[in-house]
Amino acid sequence: MSSVPRGRPAGPTGSVIGRALRLLDAFGPERRELTLTEIARRAGVPLSTAHRLLDDLGKWGAVERGEDGLYRIGLRLWELATRSSHALRLRQLAMPAMERVQARIREHTQLAILEQDEALFLERLSGPGSGSNVTRIAGRLPLHASSSGLVLLAFGDHDLQERILESKLVRITPETITDAAVLRRKLAEVRRLGHAVAPGYIESVATGVAVRVRDETGAVIAALSVVLPRDATVDLALVELHGAAREIERALGFRG
Amino acid sequence: MSSVPRGRPAGPTGSVIGRALRLLDAFGPERRELTLTEIARRAGVPLSTAHRLLDDLGKWGAVERGEDGLYRIGLRLWELATRSSHALRLRQLAMPAMERVQARIREHTQLAILEQDEALFLERLSGPGSGSNVTRIAGRLPLHASSSGLVLLAFGDHDLQERILESKLVRITPETITDAAVLRRKLAEVRRLGHAVAPGYIESVATGVAVRVRDETGAVIAALSVVLPRDATVDLALVELHGAAREIERALGFRG
């Protein structure tokens, strides 16, 4: 995801809690183990402050310090979030249907939700033969440039749509929609069909295909997608995805 | 998991960070949405303090407050942990092999690691026909009473084994090993075989079967398991699990 610009706002600097939590932002996929010095430097706080804050975070389990002196993110965070989050209950409910799609289509099968104006991927199932794919679990993609994002945007609220349409639509490949009028027409099409096809929008070699998933109130809460080779036909994938989405919707209590 | 006693130590009360993080402990699988009053009461802090701390936690994304006024755990926690944790990299590497085991054995297929003297389950794949199973993702089971726990304990360090052998071995079913001498012999057997079979130890109707998973240094870092009906033969499951464990070990760099 590193090639895609991110827009996360900086955390608060005022409170001691904010400062402590910002230390956690030093960690990432390529930075799973960090020294005290690295954490302090990345967060821009003195070494002694970082040490004290990490100590407090560690007592609860947010970070762990190994015998090698390196700090790591504590599994306590994952455990708490996984057990308590609504979104991850959705992921759990969706897994049987996702496994079936993956077994039949044999390409990356993904579940995404809207999170801070981006598509956040809760799950990705891949087989040995699955092709190229920039997505990863807990990774994000821009709404305008991914099939999942287009579904979440098309069924999102009016303010979200205007915010995205008025923002700079970053070009990721030559196929990415970067014109607001074109994007507006695409979103109308997605709403009409209940799914989005995104050929080459985020990777020139791949076509994303995503369908909406509705909760018991009929609100679209997720996008279920597969990533096909660019030239593959999308018909079978659409049939499987719509069937799987209906199954997830029934598990969520939707009776539409 | 509520029927299984837990031994998590209480968090620190001294620091403001500790107090803030302890608010998060109010959330759980049956308590995904809480009012301010509920959170304050569960954490034992005044309403005004809880409000201020939640505000600080919310600015970073650890909690979210809905339009209905209810607080929820923020996905930011899950995202950070999932992207940054070593254990969850292991889960990702293990997924293809786990999916194959699930497809062939068609019973719950699980991956667990040792975490604070318990088996913590990182993943569970289930099919429509899978039988009874107390495990859930991010759930925990006692080391002496689950096949995964027995593997993690058998290959754990000496201090861990002595700590568990000297503790009260809680009886969960009539089959649970509650005698330290019997457990010691069981652990020796698990070390010799590289796997554990636990018929009825945690649920009378089920037999857990778990194999060890080693990292590039040869250290056992996880247990891969399936949950079979109590009377099923375990041979095929053992063959599949050992094969899958070898595949995961190769992905981890083990060349034993």
Task: Tell me what percent of the residues of chain B surpass a pLDDT of 90.
Answer: 66
Using CA coordinates, name the residue in chain B closest to A9: B60
pLDDT given at position B86: 78
Instruction: Check residue A87 and give its pLDDT.
Output: 80
Give the minimum alpha-carbon distance from A123 to chain B in angstroms, rounded to a whole number.
Answer: 10
B60·A16 Cβ contact <8 A: no
pLDDT reported for residue B78: 86
Interface contact A59-B84, CB threshold 8 A: no
pLDDT for the residue B56: 93
Predicted pLDDT of residue A4: 35
Contact between B222 and B90 under an 8 Å Cβ cutoff? The reply is: yes
Residue A160 confidence (pLDDT): 97
Q: Which two structure tokens, joined as six digits, stand for A50?
A: 């970082």
Mutate to test the interface with A, among B53, B79, B113, B116 (most CBs of A within 10 A): B79
Of the candidates A138, A22, A174, the one whose C-alpha atom is nearest the C-alpha of residue B85 is A138
Give the model's pLDDT for residue A256: 74
B residues 10-49 near A, CB within 8 Å?
A: 11-12, 15-18, 20-22, 24-25, 27-29, 31-33
B36, pLDDT greater than 90 = yes
Chain mean pLDDT for chain B: 89
What is the predicted pLDDT for the residue at A131?
66
Interchain proximity A138–B21, CB inside 8 Å: no
Contact by Cβ (8 Å): A207, A197: yes
pLDDT value, residue B128 = 62
pLDDT tens for each residue of B168-195: 999 999 999 999 999 999 999 999 999 9
Give the CA distances from residue B183 to residues A197, B149, B186, in Å, rounded to whole numbers and listed in that order: 57, 12, 5
A9-18, B106-115, B131-140: least confident range: A9-18
Please tell me which of the candidates A60, A125, A126 has its beta carbon nearest to residue B22. A60
Whether the per-residue pLDDT at A97 is higher than 80: the answer is yes
Beta-strand ranges (E) seen in A49-108 are: 63-65, 71-73
Rg (CA), chain A: 20
ipTM, interface predicted TM-score of the complex: 0.74
Q: Is B86 on the interface with A (CB under 8 A)?
A: yes
Chain A: give the shortest CA distance to residue B223, in Å.
17
Residue A128 banded pLDDT, cuts 50, 70, 90: low
Spell out which residues of chain A touch residue B102, defining contact as CB-CB under 8 Å.
99
> pLDDT by residue (tens digit) across B161-174?
999 999 999 999 99
Across the range A224-228, mean pLDDT stands at 96
Does residue A9 carry a pLDDT above 60? Answer: no
Distance CA A175, CA A114 (A): 23
Band of pLDDT at residue B3, cut at 50, 70 and 90: very low
Residues in chain B with CB shorter than 8 Å from the CB of A28 are 83-84
Contact B72 A88 (CB under 8 A): no
Instruction: Of A127-141, B7-21, B44-58, B76-90, give the lowest mean pLDDT range.
Output: B7-21
* Residues B86, A32: C-beta atoms closer than 8 Å: yes
Q: Is the Cβ–Cβ distance between B91 and A43 less than 8 Å? A: no
CB proximity list for A89: less than 8 A, separation 6 or greater = B32
* Interchain CB contact of B253 with A (< 8 Å): no
The lowest-confidence range among A141-150, B53-62, B135-144, B236-245 is: B135-144
A34-85 tens-digit pLDDT? 999 999 999 999 999 999 999 999 999 899 998 899 999 988 888 888 888 8
More reliable by pLDDT, B97 or A133: B97
Give whole-number Cα distances, B137 to A71, A79, A113, B22, in Å.
Answer: 25, 8, 20, 22
Of B207 and B78, the structure prediction assigns the larger pLDDT to: B207
More confident residue, A5 or A130: A130
Residue A128 contacts residue A103 (beta carbons within 8 Å): no
Decide: residue A131, CB within 10 A, 0-12 exposed, 13-18 middle, 19+ buried.
middle
| Stretch A182-210: mean pLDDT | 96
Q: What is the pLDDT of residue A8?
A: 42
Please compute the mean of the pLDDT values over residues B227-239 and round it to a whole number: 94
Which pLDDT score is estimated for B178? Answer: 97
Least reliable range by pLDDT among A148-162, A195-209, B81-95, B111-125: B81-95
A17-39 mean pLDDT: 91
Q: Compute the distance between CA of residue A133 and CA of residue B154 in angstroms, rounded to an integer.
A: 39
Interface of A with B in 58-77 (CB under 8 A): 59-60, 62, 72-75, 77
**Please, is A161 exposed, middle or buried when counting C-beta atoms within 10 Å of its C-beta (0-12, 13-18, 19+)?**
middle
Q: Is the pLDDT of residue B4 over 60?
A: no
Give Dmax over CA atoms of chain B in angstroms.
59
- Strand (E) positions, chain B? 63-65, 71-73, 109-115, 118-125, 140-142, 195-199, 206-214, 220-229
pLDDT tens for residues B59-73? Answer: 998 999 988 999 999
Which chain B residue has the Cα nearest residue A86? B32
Percent of chain A with pLDDT over 90: 66
Average pLDDT, chain A: 89
